[in-house]
Structure formats: C-alpha cells, structure tokens
Homo-oligomer: A and B are copies of this chain.
Amino acid sequence: MTDFAHTRSQFHLPDGLVYLDGNSLGPLPVAARARIAGLLDDEWGEMLIRGWNEAGWMAMPEHVGERIGRLIGAGSGTVVTGDTLSIKLYQALAAALDLRTGRRIVLSDHGNFPSDLHMARGLMHTLGRGHELRLVAPEAVTQALDDTVAVLMLTEVDYRTGRLHDMAELTRAAHAAGALTVWDLAHSAGALPVDLEGADADFAVGCTYKFLNGGPGAPAFIYVAPRHIDRVTPVLAGWLGHEAPFAFDLDYRPGPGIARMRVGTPSIPGLAVLDAALEVWEGVSISDVRARSVELSETFIHEVERRCPALELVSPRNAHRRGSQVTWRFAGACSFMQALNDRGVVGDFRPPDMMRFGITPLYLDAGDIMRAARVMETLMTERGWDRSRRTGTMT
C-alpha cells in the first residue's frame, strides 16, 4: 500500500495553502534542491564538458524516459524525453501521417488542448498535401472514424472538463478503421493508470510539469510503439537523434529505436529536476494513486455540491469517466477563483466560465479537500452567490 504521508513529506508545500492546481504545475519535490545543486557544483562546475559522459547527461533523455515509461505502460526503450509537448506532438503526428500516406484526415475533438490543434494545422500546412483536421465533439469520435482518417489524435483527459476517453476502445476502433493513434497524456501521466502497450497505442506524448511534478517547463516525452519505430523517418532530424552524433556526418541516419526522436541538445537542468521529481514515485503504486484520487474527488464533489449549489459540475459524474480533476461551471468563475486563490485555495480558471481543481494524492489529503470545500462555501455565502441559480453555458 502506498504511503501517502511519506509521499507528501517529499514535497515543499507553502504553509496554509491548499494547492488544487497540480494539474497545471506540480509543487517542488524537496529532492530537486540537492539534485540541482549537485548538477551545478559537482557536475557542470567540476566536470565541465566531461559531464556529458561522466555524469550521464547524454543518456538522460532515455534514462528519464524509462522512468516515465513505467508509469504509462510503455516497455523499455520506447520512451524518450526532451523538448516540449508541442514539439513532441509534431514529431508523433508527422510520423503517424507518414505511415498512412493514402489518407488525409486527422481526427480530433473540441476538448483537445489548443496547442495540439495548432501544431497539427502547422504541420498539415507545411506538408501541403491536402490534409484536414476534422474536429468533433468528444462523444462523437467513434462515429467519425472512417476510412479517410489517417490519424486519431486525442488528449486522453480533457484539460477543461476532465472527461476521460477510453484509450483501449478508441485505439481499437481507430485500428479497425485503418487509422493510427496519437495520444496526448498531459493530464494522464502520473494521474491515473495508463497502459499504452495494453491499449495497443501507436504514438503518445506528454508533459511532465503537471502530475509528474517536473517543474516549470520540464521536458516532454514521446512514446513510439516498437512495431513502428524502425519505420519512422524523423521530421525533426536533429543531430542527437542521429545514429552517430559525434561522427559529425553530413548525411543523416536515424539512430536506433526511440533515440531517433531526440532532436537537439537537451536541457540538463530540466532533466535533472524531473529525474529528482520522479524519485517520489519509487514505491508508489499508480493504482493506489488512482483509488485515492477517486476517493478525494468524490468527497470534493459531494461536499462542494452540498455547500455551493450554484456550481454546475462539468466533469463526468462517473469517476471512471473522469481524470484526476474536478471542474465546475459558474457565471462568476473568474472572480470566484481569484477570491479563492486569495484565501489560500488554489485552482485554475479556464475561460469562459470554468473552475478547475486538480486532485493529486501524492501531496493532498482529505483534510485539504474539506478545507477547500469550506472556504468555497464561505465565499459563496459572503458574496451572495449562494442564491445564484446555475448558469448553464452562460459566459
């Protein structure tokens, strides 16, 4: 059984704060301090250029990728870290389209994170081969899959509502339609069990500054199924994805396996902090995290609905259809969230009218959840918002 008191002790949490925004930026893992000091003093400071080999910097994108792989059901040698989620998505989608040259449709949903859609459109424009983005409602994805779809590109957990797609089922449906899948795990990795191999996913990408607590702008990751990797011609053919970077060949030959998805020189401070953050996961069961997340979320929904009837739950009520966040809609969401933050309960406002709360059992407990609900109730009463009616889609 995961010891959540122990995991909580591994984070620095400001006094008096209930932090329900770990789905935007996880808090500081205490181990990051010593790790980054060691990187500067013992590695960069003393080893200088030799750090790339002697301190293992060169291998960090794969090393850290292995640690993430274990949390998302990816086999050894299938995940590498680096760059940003937007860049990794571009690489994955380009590779997927290149494996489905006869088709022109990229299917996604309105709940996808805008950057994924922007990057996809940018890629399609660059390709100039008539690809189109087909955007449907999250519930309509399966029926929109037909034999024109090259790639199904989805974020598993909707960043606003927390709605959770069924990765296994949708991947099966995509494959049945002859399409490949690109899954964005931004709100999945570290939030709930992900089984990329079990779901037979083709490509996956994610960021690490949310539920993996890697810090602001922490490196992203990419997964490529072993059955595809040797056929992937990297669209971003950077030298560190080359078979022999230090031969300095003028011709590009992709490196073996997932290494070819590396691009340029990776951010070592970013990787070092992330690596320290991933140490928290030693001895932690992601199933335990999920169970605790559901328990805390159910309590939160129950308590907030009881105390703040003006809020309309946007997240799925069924815990199995929900990621590790709870979102409510409210006409005064923006100012309400501001006032909440001022009272030490931190969540996110997402336009036009949503309040989003991340549930992160590694460092949140039932006491935090109850306190958040009480502060929300007090605020509602003080502002007279408790007499508001539900606002539907009012903006």
Chain A residues in the interface with B (C-beta under 8 A): 12, 14, 17, 19, 21, 24-25, 27-28, 32-33, 36-37, 40-41, 44-46, 48-52, 57, 83-87, 90, 94, 110, 113-115, 117-119, 121-123, 125-129, 135, 160, 207, 209, 215-220, 233-240, 242, 246-250, 252, 263-271, 273, 341, 346, 348, 350-351
- The docked-state distance in angstroms from the alpha carbon of A240 to that of B129 is 26
Picked from B28, B160, B249, B273, the residue with its CB within 8 Å of the CB of A45 is: B28
Would you give the shortest CB distance from A201 to chain B, in whole angstroms? 21
Given A217-B270, A248-B114, A263-B84, check contact A119 B237 (CB 8 Å): yes
Picked from B52, B216, B350, the residue with its CB within 8 Å of the CB of A216 is: B52
On whether the beta carbons of A250 and B346 are closer than 8 Å, the reply is no
Given A32-B40, A49-B24, A49-B25, check contact A233 B125 (CB 8 Å): yes
B-side contacts of A238, CB under 8 Å: 84, 86-87, 115, 118-119
Stoichiometry (number of copies) = 2
Given A239-B86, A265-B209, A269-B215, check contact A28 B40 (CB 8 Å): yes
From A27, A265, A351, name the one whose CB has the most chain B CB atoms within 10 angstroms.
A265
Picked from B110, B128, B219, B236, the residue with its CB within 8 Å of the CB of A119 is: B236
B-side contacts of A119, CB under 8 Å: 236-238
